[in-house]
Amino acid sequence: MIETDQLSYAYGNRPVLHQISLQVPAGSIYGFLGPNGSGKTTTIRLLLGLIHAPTQRISIFGQDIRANRLSVLRKVGALIETPTVYPHLSGRENLEIGRLARDASAGQVDRVLEMVGLTHDARRKVSDYSLGMRQRLGIALALLGDPELLILDEPTNGLDPAGIREIRRLLVELSQFHGKTVFISSHLLSEMEKMVTHVGIIHEGRLLFQGLIGQLRAERGQWQDAVSTDGQHTDITLEDIFLHLTNSRK
């Protein structure tokens, strides 16, 4: 579904991505994990064509994003960092803007409102929404046009545990019952491991691990010595591996 081929990118002279080769299979929930500043958002902006990638390095649905931006984006729903909505408008009006952009049918607005549980708040101004409601509205915007692929940048940012659980339930449902492929970035493996099927771990612009979440779990034993800093062979968690890989463990 998404493939990058040795994708590198630099801000001026400062390299931020080093030869990233992502492989996101269709139907998967792919957790793209890394600490803040590791290159997740830059990768997502490249995938969406918001910053210009070198040609032939990014393929989505088998098409080069640079050459086929519009036809690719018709099948992609995205949420980038904080959900971008117009706070002076109602939830419904925000969705109407997205619907027009996607040339989707009028009924889609009600459908996505129901999917994210915002039907009763649709006429309220977004400035009155809680952060969780804004995140759900952001996901509703991404769902307009019935896209095959969802690219979500930190959709659980700033949410309380109940909000995180709600988003997680929604994304699993979208994948399992609606056949969506979900590419989701986060800096919290503990959150992601409860829903993702595949995982890619990025740190300082380098992809350190990529594979099935089960594969990471299976390889847990191999990390035991490396991760255990106190010399005691207690059970390590995926979070320990993630922190070890990303040098975040203090």
Partner 1 sequence: MSTFNDLYRGLAMEKIKIKRTFVIWLALFAPAFVVITAFVAAYTDGDRFYGPGINPWVNFSGHVLVGWALFVFPIYVALQSALYAAVEHNNRAFGYLFSLPVPKWSIYASKLLVLTALVGLSHVALYGFAEGAGWLLGVLKPHYGFQHYTLREVLSRAALWMFLAGWGMIAIQMYVATRFSSFIIPAGIGLFATMAGAISRGFAASRFSPYLWPICFLNNSLELKDWHYLYVLLSIAAYVTCAVAGGMVLSRKNIW
Decide whether 16 or 243 has the Cβ nearer to partner 1.
16
Return d(Cα 42, Cα 48) in angstroms, integer: 10
Stretch that binds partner 1, among 28-36, 79-87, 208-216, 229-237 (CB under 8 A): 79-87
Q: How far is the CB of 16 from partner 1 (least distance, A)?
A: 12
* Largest Cα–Cα separation, the chain: 61
> What's the Rg (C-alpha) of the chain?
19
Helix (H) or strand (E) holding 99, with range, is helix 91-102
Binding of residue 97 to partner 1 (CB under 8 A): yes
Q: How far is the CB of 214 from partner 1 (least distance, A)?
A: 32
Q: Both tokens of residue 180?
A: 């969506």
What x-and-dash track marks residues 39-58 binding partner 1 by CB under 8 A? ------x--xxxxx------
Decide whether 71 or 215 has the Cβ nearer to partner 1.
71
Binding of residue 10 to partner 1 (CB under 8 A): no
Binding of residue 64 to partner 1 (CB under 8 A): no
The dihedral region occupied by 72, where left means phi > 0, alpha psi between -120 and 50, and beta the remainder, is alpha
Binding of residue 60 to partner 1 (CB under 8 A): no
Binding of residue 88 to partner 1 (CB under 8 A): yes
Contacts by 69-73, CB closer than 8 A, 24 or more apart: 73/48, 73/49
Binding of residue 172 to partner 1 (CB under 8 A): no
Binding of residue 78 to partner 1 (CB under 8 A): yes
Q: At 15, give phi and psi (nearest 5°).
A: -70, 135
* Residue of the chain from 66, 74, 206, 244 that contacts partner 1 (CB under 8 A): 74
Closest by CA to 79, choosing from 125, 114, 123, 48, is 48
- Residue 232, judged by CB atoms within 10 A of its CB (0-12, 13-18, 19+), counts as exposed
Q: Both tokens of residue 196?
A: 């993702």
Decide whether 31 or 145 has the Cβ nearer to partner 1.
145
Binding of residue 98 to partner 1 (CB under 8 A): yes
Binders of partner 1 among 129-168, rule CB under 8 A? 141, 145
Distance of CA 214 to the CA centre of its chain: 19
Decide whether 45 or 168 has the Cβ nearer to partner 1.
45
* Residue of the chain from 7, 58, 73, 137 that contacts partner 1 (CB under 8 A): 73
Q: Which residues contact 75 (CB under 8 A, 6 or more apart)?
A: 61, 147, 148, 149
Using CB under 8 A as the binding criterion, the count of chain residues that bind partner 1 stands at: 31
Binding interface with partner 1 (CB under 8 A): 45, 48-52, 70-71, 73-74, 76, 78, 80-82, 84-89, 93, 96-98, 100-103, 141, 145
